[in-house]
Amino acid sequence: MFDLTQKVALVTGGARGIGKGIARVLGRAGARVIIADIDAAAGQACAAELGGHYLPLDVSRQADCRRVVDDVIASHGQLDILCSNTGIFPQCALADMTEQEWDRMHNINLKGTFFMVQAALAVMRPRGYGRVVITSSITGPITGFPGWSHYAASKAGQLGFMRSAALECARDGVTINAVMPGNILTEGLQAQGEAYLEQMKAAIPSHCLGTPEDIGHAACFLASREARYITGQTLVVDGGQVLPESPEALAATA
């Protein structure tokens, strides 16, 4: 495992699911982890379980994102790693989607990423060191799924933002990269029901769903000193889901 001793890591949306998996792995690697989440009860419970700290956060509010970064600096003296993970994925058919549903998705998934990264860079760039890891998705940048056009757009948008932002801070010792999870067995995925889970497994060459810790290990690498020469890049973590060119190719792996 990569050594993150003496590093301070802020994980947004860290109370459950992929965010919790990231927080767990970073903590095991030696980082001091701050879990920021809109759900206070879940965030406090997660921090107690993992031995980290909790801060309340609504990523759709720019002032909230700046406050959280200020709080991290006040309590820990530095911010080395930001894992911008907060995201939602309610399903809605395009024909039925309202402007409010579209805006809510982008306010949290895309605008929230912008707000958090901007706030973190304000303290990372003057220090000459920082690692930013954005949780995107294969849905949008690579694949599509009916009912998630707003989600797909927000996730593709994150990557466009990431690439240009990475250029702006490339000379400041700060890297910005993204992990792109496939189907990860989180509380949100489980809520889709057993039939959906089986459908997703059938589409994966390894025929198994990933764990939040699988994403955590990818994030840990991108957050490490060893990843200093990687910026503006994506790392797909999906068990090979995007590889088959046809159902026949997938069937041949059975």
Question: What average pLDDT does the structure give for the chain?
Answer: 96
Residue with more model confidence, 22 or 207:
22
- How do residues 191-201 score in pLDDT, each as one tens digit? 888 998 998 89
Q: What gap in Å lies between CA 133 and CA 219, rounded to an integer?
A: 6
- How do residues 85-94 score in pLDDT, each as one tens digit? 999 999 999 9
Q: Quick one: average pLDDT of 203-226?
A: 96
Dihedral sign from CA coordinates of 121, 50, 234, 114: negative
Q: Are 240 and 182 in contact (CB under 8 A)?
A: no
Indicate the pLDDT class of residue 39, thresholds 50, 70 and 90: very high
Position 146 in a domain: yes
Position 80 in a domain: yes
- The domain total for the chain is 1
Position 147 in a domain: yes
Residue 56 has pLDDT above 80, yes or no: yes
Contacts of 183 (CB under 8 A, 6+ apart): 189, 200, 201, 203, 204, 209, 210, 238, 239, 241
Q: Quick one: average pLDDT of 20-28?
A: 98
Position 253 in a domain: no
Q: Quick one: average pLDDT of 197-216?
A: 93
Q: Which residues are catalytic?
A: 151
Indicate the pLDDT class of residue 29, thresholds 50, 70 and 90: very high
Indicate the pLDDT class of residue 82, thresholds 50, 70 and 90: very high
Q: Quick one: average pLDDT of 145-164?
A: 97
| pTM of the model as a whole | 0.96
The whole-number pLDDT of residue 47 equals 98
The whole-number pLDDT of residue 189 equals 82
Within 29-110, residue ranges assigned H as helices are 40-50, 62-76, 99-109
Position 63 in a domain: yes
CATH number at residue 51: 3.40.50.720
| Secondary structure element (H or E) that encloses residue 23, with its range | helix 17-28
**Containing structural domain, residue 91:** 8-237
The whole-number pLDDT of residue 27 equals 98
Position 243 in a domain: no
Q: What gap in Å lies between CA 126 and CA 199, rounded to an integer?
A: 48
The whole-number pLDDT of residue 247 equals 86
Position 244 in a domain: no
Position 174 in a domain: yes
